[in-house]
Structure 1
Amino acid sequence: MSLFVRLADWQTDREAIRGIRQKVFVEEQNVPEDLEWDEHEESAQHFLVYHHNKPIGTGRLTGGGKIGRMAILKDARGLGAGLELLKRICKFARVSGQKNVYLNAQVQAIPFYEKAGFAVTGEEFMEADIPHVRMDLTLSDKEPCENADDCNR
């Protein structure tokens, strides 16, 4: 498969992670840089998704099961990379002992997260001048891997 997701480390993978988030959030969505980079960077578990060995997306998992900073480069959208990334983050959370995960989804991304099993659990709020809602997912034993190959990455 030309898509794969791996665990990433802020220290060694910072350039790839920052490059993707800079393009998606700061340049494309006009998120102020001082809001994009926070105190969780070094403690979070980061993930990178690759297409043909090129990093095209990133996301992270912080304390309490919060998924965040999910970003796929514009020219790589539509390949299924976002779902693969989300599945891998959820699997990591489940294997690490989390029973639930949550995220603050941009309102326009609600259908994407609903397809992955997340449910809206909060009122709409503004974050970086973008409307968001909280969404939650209870992790089950078979969630989110569809087959054994997905779980071994």
Structure 2
Amino acid sequence: MSLFVRLADWHTDRNAIRGIRQKVFVEEQNVPPELEWDELEETAQHFLVYHDSKAIGTGRLTGGGKIGRMAIQREARGHGAGLELLRRICKFAGLSGQKNVYLNAQVHAIPFYEKAGFVPVGDEFMEAAIPHVRMERTLNDSEPSENLDDWNR
């Protein structure tokens, strides 16, 4: 599967981002819409992952290195899109000066995040009526060099 991840902007890419998250979180996982959309949308750095020219996934990075709202459309799961999206979000966070990133992982997805170098921290908790656990990762400075200007070429 050929994948491409790019920076996204809430104002210009809102329809793609909302469409993916609506399907995955609100429809599939029954997350109440009032919990899905929050005040961080406009200030977060959003990302879109594409297969060919179709947006198939999204995620965001908010203040303090928090990764969230990672969603891959059902038909695209299992082909590496989620790991590629997560890898690129982590890379962007490092290039932006973050030394560590964290996320609240749905418990069933812990092995997925562990593959990307995240480790569980703390106890299980409920978020949107779904069991979660906080996971953290220290970013590696020895990855191949790149700069923020390379992102949207």
TM-score relative to the length of structure 2: 0.93
Question: Structure 1 residue 142: deviation in Å?
Answer: 2.9
C-alpha distance in structure 1 between counterparts of 2:55 and 2:19, whole Å: 9
Tell me the amino acid that sits aligned with residue 85 of structure 1.
L
C-alpha distance in structure 1 between counterparts of 2:12 and 2:63, whole Å: 21
C-alpha distance in structure 1 between counterparts of 2:135 and 2:122, whole Å: 7
Percent of pairs with identical residues: 79
Question: Structure 1 residue 2: deviation in Å?
Answer: 1.8
How many residue pairs get aligned? The number is 148
Equivalence for 1:54: 54
TM-score relative to the length of structure 1: 0.93
Structural mapping, 1:2-151, within 5 Å: 2-143=2-143
Question: Structure 1 residue 54: deviation in Å?
Answer: 0.2
Structure 1 residue runs without a partner (length 5+):
none
- Following TM superposition, the consecutive aligned residue runs of length 4 or more in structure 1 with deviations greater than 6 angstroms are none
After superposition, the CA RMSD in angstroms is 1.4
Structure 2 residue runs without a partner (length 5+):
none
